[in-house]
């Protein structure tokens, strides 16, 4: 996706939006090029349409075409439970409720949710509910398979 990221990044930057992710996925018989953008306070449909139009113009004239098959272009918000993929995403999530999946089991669990309290180059510290009390738990970043924002119930 580097080719698409290199094309869409200046477009997104020009509107002061953030490029969250780019995915090229097959669903059924159709291919989808999905671009997820965001900004503080959230992104709206008009802003997605604006980026989609500009990106479509650039992709239409790209030679050689990086895609073998026809595809549908979708530009959208990453949603309330957006993935945290970069160091910046994680640093910006301090104070937010997040969900992490681990590569290895810790205390009989591979999945944790809690408020992200601290981040350093090697660790994330979450405040986790344990029945009626809250506790701080630190996880090594190298053991975190995936992280995303979550909705606390």
- Phi/psi at 79 (nearest 5 deg)? 90, 175
Domain with CATH 3.30.300.70 in the chain: 2-76
Give the Cα separation of 79 and 102 in Å (integer).
22
Which two structure tokens, joined as six digits, stand for 84? 């945290």
What secondary structure letter does DSSP report for 122?
S
Each residue's pLDDT tens digit, 111-152: 999 999 999 999 999 999 888 899 999 999 999 999 999 998
Prediction pTM value: 0.72
Question: What confidence tier does 80 reach under pLDDT thresholds 50, 70, 90?
Answer: confident
Domain with CATH 2.30.30.180 in the chain: 87-149
Looking at the domain that runs over 87-149, which CATH code has it been given?
2.30.30.180
Nearest CA to 148 among 100, 105, 106?
A: 100
Structural domain 2-76, CATH architecture: 2-Layer Sandwich (3.30)
């Amino acid at each position: 996706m580097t080719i698409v990221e290199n094309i869409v990044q200046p477009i997104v930057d020009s509107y002061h939006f953030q490029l969250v992710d780019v995915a090229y996925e097959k669903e059924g018989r159709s291919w989808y090029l999905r671009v997820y953008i965001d900004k503080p306070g959230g992104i709206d449909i008009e802003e997605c349409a604006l980026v989609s139009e500009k990106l479509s113009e650039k992709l239409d004239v790209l030679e050689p075409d990086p895609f073998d098959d026809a595809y549908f272009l979708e530009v959208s918000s990453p949603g309330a439970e957006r993935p945290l993929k970069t160091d910046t995403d994680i640093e910006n999530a301090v104070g937010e409720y997040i969900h992490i999946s681990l590569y290895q089991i810790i205390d009989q669990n591979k999945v944790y949710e809690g408020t992200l309290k601290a981040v350093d180059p090697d660790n994330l510290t979450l405040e986790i509910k344990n029945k009626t009390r809250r506790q701080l738990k630190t996880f090594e970043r190298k053991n975190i398979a995936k992280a995303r924002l979550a909705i606390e119930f």
